[in-house]
Amino acid sequence: MTEPAPGTQRPARRPPRPWIVFGVLIAIAALTWAGWREMRRRSDAAAAAAAAAAAPDTTQAGMRAVTLWFASADGDSLVSETRELQEQEGLHERVAALVAALDQGPLRRGLAVLPAGTSVLHVYLDDRGLLTLDLSRAFQQGFRGGSTAEDLAVGAIVRTIGDNVPEVRRILFTCGGAPLVTLGGHVPLDRPVGVHADGD
């Protein structure tokens, strides 16, 4: 290899062309963006999995069609309404859900018959089918009406429970843990009420 003559300078190296530098920068930006997208995808997938795990399993809980009874539009008789309620396992929960639906009132035709705030405190079912139903004090204290309204309020509870809790044959009403002689002075409640027309 021939050495350059003394006193001569070697040719200077050319700086990298601008388009090469620009291409390298583009490649780095593309890799960074792809990495960010992958991290975002994994983060979104983890969040979706966590939300799915935290969501209640409504398919396992299940829904159940029930028959509820309300006053007719003219207020002189009872009319039925079919509604889907969440399935309940225990007796207390089943009866409490039915009374809560009655307290809510009809979704379609008819009129609510229970005093606002009526709820179930306790229930007890003996081996002869007698259900002791202890309702909140709002059931008695909030009642306003005559004999027809009283008959409809009691009848709505009796028929609703009788239609949806087949093991119940009679219902004894109590209120706030104390015996309930009558709701408004017309319908006697100091003895069990049969859930069927024959008083069975």
pLDDT at 56: 47
| Among the listed residues 65, 69, 62, the one whose alpha carbon sits nearest the alpha carbon of residue 162 | 69
Collapsed DSSP state (helix, strand, coil) of residue 36: helix
Q: Which residues of the chain have pLDDT under 70?
A: 1-25, 27, 29-31, 33-37, 40, 43-61, 197-200
The whole-number pLDDT of residue 27 equals 67
pLDDT, position 59: 46
- What pLDDT is attached to residue 67? 97
Would you say 115 and 139 are in contact if contact means Cβ atoms under 8 Å apart?
yes
CA atoms 129, 81, 134, 74: torsion sign: negative
Chain segment 148-173, per-residue pLDDT in tens: 999 999 999 999 999 999 999 999 99
- CA 38 from chain center: how many Å? 37
SS3 content of the chain, % helix, strand, coil (to 5): 40, 20, 40
